[in-house]
């Protein structure tokens, strides 16, 4: 009997970079086991051009990506969410909608690449760094033996994953 896919929602304020990257990464690395979505509390309405550039360079399909409001996932006809992760500190501090099904939640905060100031090349490197940090967490997450963990243990594990950081570039 095939196992069901787990639905994962990544939340950010603008839904233009971090949450979009995480949505793509979980769909890639969790193929067949996880299905990713993203949304924002105050979406910008567009995906940041450097996000799209990075994802295309990494061979992601970007045609269906869009910036959307998190309310889309709180409706009765929305996909049943199993996990909800905030990827920015502002969204983590906001009052979220009530998610049907009581998904497991955790904060996986990373720096905002859109707010990073620098040359275009420095900005591209920073976008890549943020993507890599999210991707590392997602690879660990999708490898968890979810079916064999009780809810409390699983909640603890996904919260631990949110504390994993890349080493500072100066220490490499």
HEC assignment per residue over 61-130: CCCCCCCCEHHHHCCCCCCCCCEEEECCHHHHHCCCCCCCCCCEEEECCCCCHHHCCCCHHHHHHHHHHH
Q: What is the pLDDT of residue 74?
A: 86
Instruction: Give the pLDDT of residue 170.
Output: 43
The answer to whether 40 and 70 are in contact (CB under 8 A) is: yes
Cβ count within 10 A of residue 80: 12
pLDDT at 94: 60
Placement of tokens 């243990």 in the chain: 153
- 45-57 burial, b at 16+ Cβ within 10 Å, e below that, comes to eebbebbbebbee
Indicate whether this model's pTM tops 0.95: no
- Which pLDDT score is estimated for 172? 35
Q: Residue ranges of the domains in the chain?
A: 6-171
pLDDT given at position 133: 96
114-162 pLDDT, tens digit per residue, is 999 999 999 999 999 999 999 999 999 999 999 899 999 999 999 999 9
Q: Is the pLDDT of residue 85 over 80?
A: yes
More confident residue, 84 or 4: 84
Q: Which of 81, 88, 146, 154 is catalytic?
A: 88
The whole-angstrom separation of Cα 11 and Cα 26 is: 13
More confident residue, 167 or 7: 7
From the list 52, 58, 96, 140, the catalytic residue is: 96
Residue 91: pLDDT above 60? Answer: no
Determine whether 12 is an active site residue.
yes
Q: E strands of 61-111, at which residues?
A: 83-86, 104-107
Q: What is the mean pLDDT of the chain?
A: 90
pLDDT value at residue 95: 63
Q: Dump pLDDT digits (tens) for 40-59.
A: 989 999 999 999 999 999 99
pLDDT in the model for residue 168: 67
In the residue annotation, 96 being an active-site residue is answered as yes
Q: Which of 8, 9, 11, 12 is catalytic?
A: 12
- For residue 19, what are its two tokens? 């949450």
- Looking at domain 6-171, which CATH architecture does it have? 3-Layer(aba) Sandwich (3.40)
CA dihedral for 126, 129, 131, 134, sign (positive or negative): negative
């Amino acid at each position: 009997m095939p196992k069901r896919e787990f639905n994962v929602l990544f939340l950010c304020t603008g839904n233009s970079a971090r949450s979009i990257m995480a949505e793509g990464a979980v769909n890639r690395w969790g193929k067949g086991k996880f299905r990713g979505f993203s949304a924002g509390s105050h979406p910008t309405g567009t995906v940041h051009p450097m996000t799209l550039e990075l994802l295309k360079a990494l061979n992601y399909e970007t045609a269906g990506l869009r910036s959307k409001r998190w309310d889309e996932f709180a409706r009765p006809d929305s996909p049943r969410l199993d996990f909800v992760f905030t990827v920015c500190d502002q969204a983590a501090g906001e009052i979220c909608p009530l998610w049907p099904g009581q998904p497991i939640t955790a904060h996986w905060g990373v720096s905002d690449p859109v707010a990073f100031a620098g040359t275009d090349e420095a900005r591209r490197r920073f976008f890549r760094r943020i993507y890599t940090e999210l991707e590392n967490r997602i690879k660990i997450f999708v490898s968890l033996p979810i079916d064999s963990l009780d809810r409390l243990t699983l909640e603890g594990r996904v919260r631990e994953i949110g504390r994993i950081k890349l080493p500072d570039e100066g220490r490499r």
